[in-house]
Amino acid sequence: MQHVPGEDRGRVMLYALSTCGWCARTKELLTDLGVGFSYVYVDLLAGEERDRVVREVERWNPRLSFPTVVIDDATVIVGFREEEIREAVGA
């Protein structure tokens, strides 16, 4: 898991795929907003770690689709939904 430093707007977690254009746009948006967040490229994980993270994503988003953004273990945004992401991080 990687951390991008920035303003503290709660625990912002981005589950992404390294090959996906919408995941890239979501990461770019969070970076541009100056929000501190963590991200993980699930497609680059292997073995037990991958299984664990897949289960984690499925808990928030049973369809296991990407990008999935989770804020403060409560708000879940599936897909590159710019307005919803801006609103959720208060930017």
Partner 1 sequence: MPDAVSDGEVNRLMRDLEAEAEAGGYHLNPDREFTCDLVRGLLANRERYGYISCPCRLASGNRDDDLDIICPCDYRDPDLADFGACYCALYVTADVESGKRAAAPVPERRPPPAERTRQKEERALVGRAPGTLNYPVWRCRVCGYLCARNEPPETCPICRVSRDRFERFM
Q: Given the rule CB under 8 A, which residues bind partner 1?
A: 17-24, 42-43, 54, 62-66, 78-81
Q: Which is nearer to partner 1, 2 or 72 (CB)?
A: 2
CB of 80 to partner 1, least distance (A): 7
Q: Point out which residues pair with 71 in neighbouring strands.
A: 12, 75
Q: How far is residue 76 from each of residues 14, 46, 58, 63, 80, measured CA to CA in Å? A: 10, 24, 11, 13, 12
Residue placing its CB nearer to partner 1 in the complex, 8 or 63: 63
Measured from the CB atom, the residue of 5 and 62 that comes closer to partner 1 is 62
CB of 83 to partner 1, least distance (A): 11
Q: How far apart are CA 54 and CA 46, in angstroms?
A: 11
DSSP for 10-34 reads S-EEEEE-TT-HHHHHHHHHHHHHT
Least distance (Å) between residue 20 CB and partner 1: 4
